[in-house]
Amino acid sequence: MKVEKSIEISTTPDKIWPFLVEPEKIRMWFDSFKKCEYAGDNRSGVGTAYYVEEKVPGPLRKIDFKVKTWNENENLVLEMTSGKNVNSYEIRWNLEATQSGTAFHFVEEVGMPFGAIGKILGVLGQGTADKMVEGMLTKLKKLSEETANSV
């Protein structure tokens, strides 16, 4: 299943970046992440590890991610290194400075478990996933703009 959405955020990429890399701030907008924490000593850069427990329709997903790409204030790619109740998982976040702020682009690709049944569930759940991500991006926009305006 693939979800791809974009939103315009009225602040600079550096005000959004902490919401993409700090576990406590990720959880403020990424609603399905019920738990998100560092899983090693690195706190920045390629190789930074995160442990996530994600609750979406179906069984709880327990996932270990590693940062595959880290270009501060530009893009971040998280790739699953191991997980329960999901076959593969990659998240790509891109930030592009614009005249009015930042264009934020979100891509999530999840390899569904359970063979053909998982593929069917993915198709059936696509609309729900799209709406969920739209809501999360609205939260990210609000949090980032509030943070920028409070400085």
pLDDT band at 111 (very low <50, low <70, confident <90, very high): confident
pLDDT band at 143 (very low <50, low <70, confident <90, very high): very high
**Can you give the pLDDT at residue 121?**
67
How many domains in the chain? 1
Q: Greater confidence, 148 or 114?
A: 148
**Can you give the pLDDT at residue 4?**
98
Residue 101: domain span? 2-149
Contact partners, residue 21, CB within 8 Å, separation at least 6: 44, 48, 76
pLDDT tens per residue across span 17-73: 999 999 999 999 999 999 999 999 999 999 999 999 999 877 889 999 999 999 999
How many Å apart are CA 149 and CA 147, to the nearest integer?
A: 5
**Can you give the pLDDT at residue 97?**
97
Q: Greater confidence, 128 or 75?
A: 75
Tell me the two tokens of residue 109. 């690709």
Task: Report the mean per-residue pLDDT for the chain.
Answer: 93
Tell me the two tokens of residue 145. 């703009």
3-state SS track over 28-54: HHCCCEEEEEECCCCCCCCCCEEEEEE
Assess contact for 54 and 60: CB atoms under 8 A.
Answer: yes
Q: What is the mean pLDDT of residues 84-103?
A: 95
> Which CATH number characterizes residue 27's domain?
3.30.530.20
